[in-house]
Amino acid sequence: MLGLGLGLVALLVGMVLKGAELSSLNNPAAFVIIIIGTCASVCMAFPMNDLKKLGKLFRIVFKQQKLMPREQVISLFMDWATVTRREGLLALEARVDEIEDPFLRTGMRMIIDGNDQEFVRDVLLEDIAATEERHRAGAQIFSQAGMYAPTLGVMGAVVGLIAALSQLNDIDHLAHAVAAAFVATLLGIFTGYVLWHPISNKLKRLSKQEIELKLMMVEGLLSIQSGVSTIAIQQKLAVFLTPTERNAMAEKEEGGARGE
C-alpha cells in the first residue's frame, strides 16, 4: 500500500510540476481500454483455474506473510534433536499435533512412521516443487499483465489520435483531443510498471522466502531422522540464516549461557 500510494503521489505531483492538468485523467475511454483490455488479455492467456486464484493472490500481496522465523525453526529442531537422542524418535509422536505448519507436520509424521530417508526427501521435495510451480503461475499472471498494459496504452493513444485527426477543422478541440489520446499511454505505463510488474516481483520474493524455509525444514527433518547431535543440526541449519541473523542468534545463546 505504501508503494502504491507513493506511485500515485509521484504521478500526480509530477503532472502538476510539469503543468499538466489533473482533470485530463478524467478520461473514461482510456480506463476502458487499459483496464478492461488488460483483463481481457489476461483472460485469453491463462486458464480459468489460474484466474480464480486472483483474489487470494491480491490478499497475499497486501497482507503480511506469516512464516515461522528461521531462528525459531532452528531452536525447534535443536529441541527435537535433544529429545530424539535421549528418548528415541518415537518420543516426538506426542508433539506432532502441536506443530502448526502443515508441511513440517507432514514431514515429522513421515519420519516417525519409519519411512526411508530417501523416500521422505523425495516426497517433501516434490511437494516443494509443486508449491513453487503454483507460485510461479500466480506471479506470471501479473507479469504478463505488466507486458500487456503499456502496449494497450499505445493502442489507446492510436485510437485517440484517430478521433482527434477526424476533427482537423477545430484546432482548439484538436489540441485537447491529442492530449487526451496520450492519457491511455500514461495509464498503460503506470499500471504496467508501478502496479503489475511490482506485484509479480513481490509474489516471486514471497515464494522464494517460503521455499527456502521449507528446504530448511527438509534438512532439519532428515537430520533428526539421522540422529545427529544438537550442535550439528544447529550448524547445518545456520547456513540458511544471514550473517546478521547468525550473529544475533550467537549473542542470544551467549547471553542465555551467562544467565545460567
Question: What does the pLDDT average to over 80-97?
Answer: 85
The answer, yes or no, to whether residue 258 has pLDDT greater than 60, is no
The residue among 131, 83, 69 whose CA lies nearest residue 103 is 131
Q: Which long-range contacts (CB under 8 A, 24 or more apart) does 28-33 make?
A: 29/156, 29/159, 29/160, 29/184, 30/156, 30/160, 30/180, 30/183, 30/184, 30/186, 30/187, 31/187, 33/152, 33/153, 33/155, 33/156, 33/159, 33/184
pTM of the model: 0.84
Q: What does the mean pLDDT of the chain come to?
A: 87
Tell me the per-residue pLDDT of 110-145, one tens digit each, with 9 for 90 and over: 999 888 899 999 999 999 999 999 999 999 999 999
Region of 88 (left: φ > 0; alpha: ψ -120 to 50; beta: rest) is left
pLDDT score, position 67: 86
The C-alpha cell at 55 is 483474489
Residues 6+ apart with CB under 8 A from 125: 218
The larger pLDDT score, comparing residue 259 to residue 40, is at 40
Tell me the per-residue pLDDT of 5-48, one tens digit each, with 9 for 90 and over: 898 888 888 888 878 778 778 888 888 999 999 999 999 999 99
| Among the ranges given (15-19, 74-78, 158-162, 163-167), the one the predictor scored with the smallest mean pLDDT | 163-167
Q: What distance separates the 2 farthest-apart alpha carbons in the chain?
A: 93
Q: Where are the domains of the chain?
A: 70-116+215-259
